[in-house]
Structure 1
């Protein structure tokens, strides 16, 4: 019975990690990593060798960096500024709360546009390009992180 409870917790943590790909308030990679820790607590840390932990920690660090970098590159590539990046980040955090589901895309889009207009006095056209860059950056980031997280979980199941 305890084995079933342990696996349920591990799988729930993995699921929350993948939900975190599109819901930025959830620290997705930490939930994936938490699933590994729960496995060790319920079963055995001996099943997970040192190199497993090293690889997984490197992936977690990569995920944190990729998240910021993809958004920044998306905004910059489409002509946005630091204000657009900050606005898109604020929109990404608050958008899903204001507009459930659609807010994940609309929030960063509008955040970048509003910030570009208010801070830089940018034209509507330039501001919209920044907003589009923000959305492209978010989607790119989510896809990249999803692949990395799938690799993390795949390595886990391969090791055990």
Structure 2
């Protein structure tokens, strides 16, 4: 039973990182599910209130980073609200249409087309916004990956 519980915990942790490539997968909740599997399987003794407070701060950080980094990079390059919406659609659809690279290609293309067609911007402006979108996605994924890794490190430090 112990091995099965650890396998489930590991699957939750690994799946949470897959969520960096497939944004439809809820990364942070999967980490929490892994922590809860540990708690229900082995006991919550090691997972003290301070553990849950630290993890809550990380979860707030994850959601805040995702929003702020993406918004900042698109806003900084003059992107419109329509481009943000199109980028979000591309983020959700892209990885399913073209696994892996679709995460970058579709938001990039959708942002460019939205700015060019709807906002009537020049190709240079539209390309700049598209590049900003990709930089935002990559930066956000990197920062979220680091935060998620830190969440797992904190978990390990508490249970060892």
TM-score bracket for the superposition, by shorter chain length: over 0.9
**Which residue pairs with 1:154 in the alignment?**
153
Superposition TM-score, scaled by structure 1 size: 0.95
**Which residue pairs with 1:83 in the alignment?**
82
Cα offset, 1:149, TM superposition: 0.5
Cα offset, 1:54, TM superposition: 0.9
**Which residue pairs with 2:103 in the alignment?**
104
Superposition TM-score, scaled by structure 2 size: 0.95
Structure 1 gaps of 5+ residues are none
SS class of match (2:124):
helix
Cα offset, 1:118, TM superposition: 2.6
Which whole-Å CA distance do the structure 2 matches of 1:19 and 1:98 have between them?
Answer: 16
Which whole-Å CA distance do the structure 2 matches of 1:11 and 1:108 have between them?
Answer: 30
Which whole-Å CA distance do the structure 1 matches of 2:145 and 2:7 have between them?
Answer: 21
> C-alpha offsets along residues 29-84 of structure 1, whole Å, 9 cap, x if unaligned?
11111110111111111121011001101211111111111111111122212121
Which whole-Å CA distance do the structure 2 matches of 1:86 and 1:69 have between them?
Answer: 15
Which whole-Å CA distance do the structure 2 matches of 1:78 and 1:34 have between them?
Answer: 38
Which whole-Å CA distance do the structure 1 matches of 2:17 and 2:96 have between them?
Answer: 19
**Which residue pairs with 1:130 in the alignment?**
129
Give the conservation status (yes or no) of the 8 Å contact 1:86–1:115.
Answer: no
The number of residues matched between the two structures is 159
Cα offset, 1:121, TM superposition: 1.2
Which whole-Å CA distance do the structure 1 matches of 2:51 and 2:29 have between them?
Answer: 15
**Which residue pairs with 1:68 in the alignment?**
67
Which whole-Å CA distance do the structure 2 matches of 1:68 and 1:110 have between them?
Answer: 20
Cα offset, 1:14, TM superposition: 0.3
Structure 2 gaps of 5+ residues are none
**Which residue pairs with 1:120 in the alignment?**
119
SS class of match (2:45):
helix
